[in-house]
Amino acid sequence: MARGGLCALLLLIAAGMAAADQLVATHEDGTEIARFKVARGNGWCVLWHHSVEGFEVSDCYENRDGHMVLVQSHLPDFAAGLGHIPGRGEQVSDGEGGYLILNIDEPVPDDA
């Protein structure tokens, strides 16, 4: 599978909270791939590769009262489609040429 296709697949299987304390990953056709217990207050990160530059980006989420909330992102460089949106978290240096966007605290629509 080409790198771009793999990236698209990974984005499609990033799944939401099926039950208050469960993370369910599904394929685009709805087939369940994995199910994990995620206690309230705990989190997880989805790692994916930028379709043009190929570097790894991480988006980190938390189970807040049974809902999926985007809390931070790590981006190793500025590239197409990436960047900080003023008023949406706080951008800080990662000390290695990239940056973190902290305190995003954005609920994910439909927890998916």
Total Cβ atoms within 10 A of residue 72 = 20
pLDDT band at 7 (very low <50, low <70, confident <90, very high): very low
Q: Residue 17 burial (CB < 10 Å; 0-12/13-18/19+)? A: buried
> pLDDT for 23-77, tens place per residue?
888 888 989 999 889 999 999 999 989 888 788 989 999 999 989 999 999 988 8
pLDDT reported for residue 23: 85
